[in-house]
Amino acid sequence: MESDAERLFRRLLDGISKGDWSNLAELYADDALVVIPFAGIQGLRLEGRKAIADHFARASAAPFSIRPTNVRIHRTEDSEAIVGEFDYELVARDGTVRGVVPNIQWLKAKDGLIVQSRDYHHHEAIAAAAQSALAEA
């Protein structure tokens, strides 16, 4: 049987792939915590649904869409947590893939909402893909 964490992780990736940025924060608890350790030198800490919604709003302005591929979900000893391992294909508006970025995400869910997440993305590769897409625009 699929856990809440697995279901929420799949819904999150589905929303990202559809570019449904405005609804993704609804998957998170009001007091959720998202930590993105490799975002810049000091990392990024998003505390609360509003901060998470603002983050997704900024992501919606990217000059490319994001297509999750090679998704693998690993269960943990904690029944409320999973580790997701996946790639993002960064697709320019003309349909060309500008990069493939490896990702790992640890996610914890309670009461049908994401309460904690640690997102490990390759931010240099994402920035390079953005520059490439903008240069072509």
Give the number of other Cβ atoms within 10 Å of residue 109's Cβ.
Answer: 25
Of 123 and 133, the structure prediction assigns the larger pLDDT to: 123
Q: Side-chain half-sphere of 96: how many Cα atoms within 13 Å?
A: 9
Residue range 49-83, pLDDT digits in tens: 999 999 999 888 887 889 999 999 999 999 999 99
Of 63 and 85, the structure prediction assigns the larger pLDDT to: 85
Residue range 4-13, pLDDT digits in tens: 999 999 999 9
**pTM (predicted TM-score):** 0.90
Tell me which residue range forms the domain holding 82: 4-136
Q: What is the pLDDT of residue 16?
A: 94
CATH value at residue 67: 3.10.450.50
How many domains does the chain contain in total? 1
